[in-house]
Structure 1
Amino acid sequence: MWIFTRLDKELKQAIKLLSLGTFLEYFDLFLYAHMAVLLNDLFFPPADTHAKSLLTAFAFCSSFIFRPIGAMLFGYIGDTYGRKITVVITTFMMAITCLIMANAPTYSQIGIAAAWIVTGCRILQGMSSMGEIVGAQLFLTEATPSPVRFPVVGLINVFGDLGATMSIAVGVLATSYGFNWRIAFWIGSAVALIGSFARTTLRESPEFADARKRLQSVATRAKEDITQIKARPFYNEPIAVKTALAYFLIKCSGAVFIYFIFFYATTTFKLVFSYDAHQILLHNFLLGIVGIIAWSTLRTYLSTKIHPLKILTFAWIGISIFIPFLPWLLNYVTAPWQLFLIQSYIILFWPNDLPGVPIFFKNFPVFKRFSTASFLFALAYAVVYTITSFGLIYLVNYLGYWGLLFLMVPVLIGYKYGLNHFIQLEKAAGRYPKLINWDMDW
C-alpha cells in the first residue's frame, strides 16, 4: 500500500522483524492446538468419548489459563524496561518449549508424565505468546504515525493468522503423507531462536523511550531520585475503570467465536459427518485461508480508508443479525459445505479488536499500557476459553445448539457496550467519525 512508502527504513525493518516473529509465535502456539486430534492420543491416556472431549478442552485451555500470569510478568517488564526486551524474551521462550515438545516421549513410553510435560510446555507457550502479540502491536502503535498505524498494526494480525494457518497445513501433511510432526516443532524452534536474536537489533519504541527520557529529565532537574519521581501523579496516572472494562468485554467476544469456529465445530464433523483427523484439519486449513483473506487482510486494508471503529460497528451488526438463526441452521445442516459457509460468515463478521487495536491501546497510560492491555487480553481469553470449552460440552448436551446462545448473546451485548465507550472517547477527542490526518498525531 502506498502509505507504507512514507515510513522510514528503520520502521520498515521493525515491521518486518515483528511480523515474522508473530508468524513464528502463532505457528508454534497453534501447532499443537490444531493437531490435538492427532497428538492427544499420543500424549494422554486412552479414554472414552466424553473423557476425550474433556481432555481436548483441557489441552486447549492449558495454554490460556495461565496467560494472565504471563501478562503480569511481561507487562511489568514491558512497562519498566521496554517493549523491545519483551518481544525478544517471548520469542526465545517459544523456541525452547517447541524444542522440548519436539523431543517429548509419548504416553506409551513414560506414562502420564508425557501429558504433564506437554501441558507444561503449552502453559509456557501461552504465557510467552501473550507478551509477544501485545508487545509487537504496542511497539508499532507507539512507533507509527496516524493513520498508517492502523494497517501497520493490522499486519501483525495478518501474519499471526498466517502462522496459525501454516500450523494447520503441517497437521494436514502429518495425517495424509506421513510427515513427522516432530520435524515441524524442530523447525519452529530453530527459526524462533534465529528470530529472537534478530529482534535484538530493534530500537525501543519512540513513545515509550521519550516518556522514559522525560521522566529522567524531571528527576535530574528536581535533583531527586528516579524512584521518588515515580511516586508522583503524572507517572501513576490512573487507569479508567470503564475503559478497562470496555476493552475486556471486546476481547471476551472474540474468544467465544474463534473457539466455536475452529474447535467446537470439529465435534460436529466427527459425530455427524464421520470426519477423521485429516479431513478436520483440511477443513480448518481452508477456514484459515478464509480468515486471512476475509478477516485480517480485508480489515487491515479497509482501515486505510474507514475509521476502525466504524468497521467494528458494521461487523457487530452483521454477526448480531446472524447469531439468533445459528442454532436453527446447525440443526438443518446436512452437508459439510453448509457448515463451512456458516463458519465463513462468522469469520467475516467476527467481533474482535482488529483494526481498532491502536485506539484501545492509546487510551491507557503509557507507563501502564503494556501491563494493562496484556492482562485484560489474557484474562478475557482465559475466562472465556475455559467457560466456552467446558461449558459448551454440557450446554449443547442439555439444550442442543440453542445452548450456544447462552454464551454468544451475552458477549455480543458486552462487545457493543465496549465499542460504544471507545466511540465516545474518539468523538470527545475529535477523531471520529473520520480518520485523522497523517500529520495529526495523538
Structure 2
Amino acid sequence: MGVFSSLKQEHKEAIGLLQIGTFLEYFDLMLYVHMAVLLNELFFPKTDPHTAALLSAFAFCSTYVLRPLGALLFGYIGDYIGRKSTVIITTMMMAFSCLIMANLPTYAQVGITAAWLVTLCRVIQGVSSMSEILGAHIYVTELLKPPSQYVAVSFISVASALGSVCALGVAALVTTSGFDWRLAFWIGAGIAVVGSIARTKLRETPEFVDAKRLKLKQIEDREIDESKKLSEKLIIKKHVKEEKICKKTIAAYFLVYCGWPLSFYLSFMYFNPLLKKDYGYSAEDIIFHNFLLSLISLSVTTLVAALSHKIYPLKILKARGLFLGILTFFLPLAIMASTNHIQIFLIQALLLIAALAPLPADSIFIKHFPVLKRFTATSLLYALKSTFMYILTSFSLVYLNYYLGEWGLWVIMLPVIGGFLWGVHHFERLESSSKQSTQDSSTLKLT
C-alpha cells in the first residue's frame, strides 16, 4: 500500500512483526470461540435447550470475565517495563493454553472437571489476547504519525480479522473432513510459539522511552536528594500517579468500545440456536456458515482500514453508527420475516457492515491518554467493557428473547448505539481542541 512506502525500514519491520503476532494470537483465540458449538457438547453435560443456552453463554463469557485482572497486570508491565515485554508474554500464554486444550479429556472421560479445565483455558486466552492487540495498537500509535498511523494501527485489526478467518477455515476443515478436533489446537499452539519468537526482534517504542526519560529528568530537577535514594522505576511510578485522565474521556472510550462486543455477538453467536432449531444446522454447518461471515468481516475491516488514509476515521465511525441505528429499527421484523438460512445470512452480513467497531480510530482514542498511564488505562477500560458487554449481551439476550422475542434486541442495541455515537462526538471535540492548541502554539512561535 502506498501509505507505507514513505516509512522507514525498521518501522515496516515492526508493523509486520506486530501484524504477524496479532494474526497468530487471534487465530488461537477464535479457534475455540467458533468451535464452541462443537466443543460445548464435548466438555459440558447435556441438558434442556434453555439450560444449554445458559451454559453456552457461560462458556462464551469465561473468555472475558477475568480480563480486568489481566489488564491491571499487563498494564503495569506495559507502562513500567515496556510494550515489547507485554506482547511477547501474552503470545506465550496463548501457546500454553492451546497445548492444554489439545490434550484435554472430555466430559465423558472425567466429568465436570473437563468443564472447569476448558473454562480455565478460555480465561487464559481471553486475558492474553486482550493485552496483545492493545499492546500492538499502542506500539504502532507511538511509532508513527497520522495519517499513516491510522492505516497502520487499523491493519493490526485486519490481522486479527484474518486470524479469525483462518481459525474458522481450519475449524471447518477439521470438522467436515473427519479429523480429530485436537489437531486444530496443536496447529494453534505451534503458531503461537512462532509468533512469540518473531516478536523478540521488536525494539521499545521511542515515545515510551522518551516519556520515561523526560519524567525522570523532571523528577531529578525537582527532587535531587530523593531521586538518589530511589530506583528509576519507583520514581516514575510515584510521579505518574500525579497525572490525571479526564473522566469524560474515560467514559467516551468505554462507550465506544462497548459497541464491538455487541456487534460480534449478534453477527456470529446470536443466530446459532435459530439455525440449529429452525433450519436443522449441525455444529459443522454453523462453523462453515460463520467462516463465510468471517470473510465478509475481513473484507469490511480491510476496506475501512484502507479508507482511513483518505477519510477521517471518526467520520467513518459516525457513519457506521448511524447506519446501525437505522438498521436496528427494522431488525426484529427482518428476523421474524425470514424463511430460510440465506436471509439470516444476509441479516448477519448487514450487521457486520454496520458493526460498531473502533476501527479505524483506535490510535485517536489511545493518544488522548498520558503515555505512562496509557497501557494500564486503556487495557483496564478495554477489559471492563469486554466483561460487562459480553456478559450482558449473551445472558440478557437469552431472557429478553424468551420474554420479548426479537423485540428484546432494542433494549440492548439502542442504548449501546447512543453511547457509541456520544463517545465518538467527545473524541471529535478533543481532536478539534488539540488542533486548535497546535495552531495557537505555531502562531506564538511565528510572532
**TM-score for the superposition, normalised by structure 1:** 0.94
Find the counterpart in structure 1 of residue 260 from structure 2.
254
Find the counterpart in structure 2 of residue 379 from structure 1.
384
Find the counterpart in structure 2 of residue 388 from structure 1.
393
- Give 1:345 deviation, angstroms: 1.1
After superposition, the Cα gap between the structure-2 partners of 1:331 and 1:78, relative to the gap in structure 1 and judged at 3 Å, is same
After superposition, the Cα gap between the structure-2 partners of 1:119 and 1:245, relative to the gap in structure 1 and judged at 3 Å, is same
Find the counterpart in structure 1 of residue 340 from structure 2.
335
Quick check: 1:285 aligned with 2:291? yes
Equivalent residue runs for 1:12-411 within 5 Å: 12-221=12-221, 223=224, 224=227, 225=230, 226=232, 227-228=234-235, 230-232=237-239, 236-294=242-300, 296-411=301-416
The letter for the 2-side match of 1:398 is Y
- Give 1:188 deviation, angstroms: 1.2
Between the aligned partners of 2:307 and 2:192, the Cα distance in structure 1 is: 31
- Greater mean alpha carbon deviation, residues 262-271 or residues 173-182: 173-182
Between the aligned partners of 1:160 and 1:251, the Cα distance in structure 2 is: 16
Partner deviation per Cα, 1:119-157 (whole Å, 9 max, x = no partner): 101001111111101001110110112210111011111
Between the aligned partners of 2:182 and 2:140, the Cα distance in structure 1 is: 33
Between the aligned partners of 2:370 and 2:236, the Cα distance in structure 1 is: 16
CA contact (8 A) 1:230 1:236 kept: no
Between the aligned partners of 1:431 and 1:176, the Cα distance in structure 2 is: 58
Partner deviation per Cα, 1:330-384 (whole Å, 9 max, x = no partner): 1100111111111111111111210000000000111111111111111111111
- Give 1:175 deviation, angstroms: 2.3
Partner deviation per Cα, 1:186-223 (whole Å, 9 max, x = no partner): 12112211221221111001110111122233345553
The letter for the 1-side match of 2:11 is L
Query: Aligned to 2:22, what secondary structure does the other structure show?
Result: helix
CA contact (8 A) 1:170 1:181 kept: no
CA contact (8 A) 1:87 1:136 kept: yes
Query: Aligned to 1:65, what secondary structure does the other structure show?
Result: coil
- Give 1:10 deviation, angstroms: 1.2
Name stretches of at least 5 consecutive residues in structure 2 with no aligned partner: 438-447
Partner deviation per Cα, 1:221-247 (whole Å, 9 max, x = no partner): 553244456544x76310110000001
**TM-score for the superposition, normalised by structure 2:** 0.93
Between the aligned partners of 1:415 and 1:219, the Cα distance in structure 2 is: 39
Quick check: 1:414 aligned with 2:397? no
CA contact (8 A) 2:324 2:351 kept: yes
Query: Aligned to 1:367, what secondary structure does the other structure show?
Result: helix
The letter for the 2-side match of 1:344 is A
- Give 1:55 deviation, angstroms: 1.2
Name stretches of at least 5 consecutive residues in structure 1 with no aligned partner: 433-442
CA contact (8 A) 1:235 1:367 kept: no
Query: Aligned to 1:105, what secondary structure does the other structure show?
Result: coil
CA contact (8 A) 2:258 2:416 kept: yes
CA contact (8 A) 2:212 2:236 kept: no
Query: Aligned to 1:64, what secondary structure does the other structure show?
Result: coil
- Give 1:75 deviation, angstroms: 0.7
Find the counterpart in structure 1 of residue 442 from structure 2.
none
Find the counterpart in structure 1 of residue 440 from structure 2.
none
Partner deviation per Cα, 1:144-174 (whole Å, 9 max, x = no partner): 1221011101111111011112111122112
Query: Aligned to 2:309, what secondary structure does the other structure show?
Result: coil
Partner deviation per Cα, 1:368-416 (whole Å, 9 max, x = no partner): 1111111111111111110111111110111110001100001011111
The letter for the 2-side match of 1:281 is I
Partner deviation per Cα, 1:76-114 (whole Å, 9 max, x = no partner): 110111100000000000000100110111111111111
- Give 1:47 deviation, angstroms: 1.6
- Greater mean alpha carbon deviation, residues 103-112 or residues 213-222: 213-222
- Give 1:300 deviation, angstroms: 0.4
The letter for the 2-side match of 1:356 is A
Between the aligned partners of 2:242 and 2:132, the Cα distance in structure 1 is: 25
Find the counterpart in structure 2 of residue 438 from structure 1.
none
Between the aligned partners of 1:285 and 1:248, the Cα distance in structure 2 is: 29
Aligned length: 430
Between the aligned partners of 1:247 and 1:431, the Cα distance in structure 2 is: 22
Query: Aligned to 2:62, what secondary structure does the other structure show?
Result: helix
- Superposition CA RMSD, Å: 1.5
Partner deviation per Cα, 1:273-324 (whole Å, 9 max, x = no partner): 1111121111111110000112x10110100001100111111111111111
The letter for the 1-side match of 2:338 is V
Identical-residue share of aligned pairs (%): 48
